[in-house]
Amino acid sequence: MSDVLHRKMAHLFALLDVDDDGTVDRMDYTASADRLVTAFGFAPGSAESLRVRDRYARLWDEVTLPMDVDGDERVDVAEFAAGFDTFVTAREEGYREHVAPVADAFYDLMDVDGDGRITRTEYLRMAVSAFRMSEDAGRTAFDHLDLDSNGWLSREELHLANEQYFRSADEQAPGNWLFGPLPSVT
């Protein structure tokens, strides 16, 4: 795994580790899903909530849990990076199989008015709630992801950003901004 891909996985790991205990587990994924649907005003048992929780659970069961090499049902940052490399980055179909369904659920949830567009406000609500990003980081990320500068994200722009985030070693890929600025190399 390239340095930039490793940095992206470590950054995402830190955002997903909601209890900041140095590992991610099923609870971290459930908490992230719940924060997201709550931020968009959906009730815990709503169809939207169940869909997001289902996609997160599937991502946990099919991708993240198999990364757990010591069998404790918790994944540390090294296991996380190696696992995403195995399941998503290195496999041509890995993004479509494992990440695209979650991205679609996010897109559908964020598009609260159903116009097929994710506005800056909708994106910020997702970034701040599900991934604990600051509003400034979310605004900057949105600007990088809005490739045609029309003020909204299409489903295609979101998928391109996700695929670049999980698969591209290009330091300048716009998708690297999906979860805000990457930490600097130290």
Q: What whole-number distance in Å separates Cα of residue 185 and Cα of residue 41?
A: 38
Per-residue pLDDT band at 174 (split at 50, 70, 90): very high
pLDDT tens sequence across 1-41 = 789 999 999 999 998 998 999 999 999 989 888 888 888 88
pLDDT tens sequence across 103-131 = 888 888 888 888 999 999 999 988 988 88
Q: What is the pTM of this model?
A: 0.87
The answer to whether 118 and 110 have CB atoms below 8 angstroms apart is yes
Burial of 1 (0-12, 13-18, 19+ CB in 10 A): middle
- The SS3 of residue 96 is helix
Task: Please state which CATH class domain 3-173 belongs to.
Answer: mainly alpha
